[in-house]
Amino acid sequence: MFSDAKLHVMYQIANAPFREFPFPHIYVKEIFPPKFFEQIRAQLPHDEQYMRLVDTGRVGKGYSSARLSLFPDMLAESDLDDAQRGFWDGMFATFGSNEFCSLVSQKFRPHIERRFAQSHPGGVTLNPKPEVFLMRDLETYSLGPHTDSPAKLVSMLFYLAPDDRRPELGTALYVPKDRGFTCPGGPHHDRAHFDHMITLPYASNVLVAFPKTMNCFHGVEVLTQADSRRDIFFFDLKAKT
């Protein structure tokens, strides 16, 4: 089951065309086989089976309490039933595997190398490592324009939406009003200094992915409606230079 799903996802990613503006990214529909996607949806935890991301120690104390998380190291102590625990253990192992990591590294290699070309003209050993986890964003969650941590190489967001009726909940892309402004990563910037270019629609069984760059400004528009829940399976490729 998981092996077949991984091969399908790898095929979709490897053959997806890049959208180059305002920064390189891909938007891939039907990223999982449809029947497998139904299984993912059926095994999603309830709110109380997650941990608030701010309580995990992975982010600062000022981080929003409206983002819930489930990481592989939380499974053993989680309140999931046996079927859920087994399913998510399989998901984390499958998409955290060396084979999948290698495919992602190869897909984004030109963009990764371009990023480090000036700072490491003799080449750099990145030792890419994956991090996979499950997130749920609730109705008060939002993220200002930012370019992610310098340690990150690639961000992949697998949208687990039940349908296509809430496209505005997707990942927003921004361009700075000062078009020459770049950021090495870290801070979330004031929206007043950015133009909202587009929101990549939050839709059922879709992948949004992009390499970390100095201008990959993205975020989440403010969510206010009571049904503004976002379920996302994340894959991050990170490196120690």
What is the spatial distance between Cα 44 and Cα 206, in angstroms, rounded to a whole number?
16
Residue type present at position 210: F
Confidence of residue 168 (pLDDT cuts 50, 70, 90): very high
pLDDT at 67: 87
Give bridge partners of residue 70 from the DSSP assignment. 134
Express each pLDDT in 119-143 by its tens digit. 666 566 677 899 999 999 987 677 8
Express each pLDDT in 82-91 by its tens digit. 999 999 999 9
Range of the domain at 34: 2-238
Give bridge partners of residue 230 from the DSSP assignment. 137
Measuring CA to CA, which residue among 163, 198, 182 is closest to residue 38? Answer: 163
> Quick check: 241 pLDDT over 80?
no
Contact residues for 197 (Cβ-Cβ < 8 A; gap 6+): 22, 173, 174, 175
Measuring CA to CA, which residue among 202, 12, 213 is closest to residue 104? Answer: 12
* Stretch (H or E) spanning 89: helix 82-95
- CATH number of the domain where residue 58 is located: 2.60.120.620
Count of domains observed in the chain: 1
What is the spatial distance between Cα 115 and Cα 109, in angstroms, rounded to a whole number?
10
Express each pLDDT in 35-65 by its tens digit. 999 999 999 999 999 999 888 877 777 677 7
pLDDT at 123: 62
154 in helix, strand or coil? strand
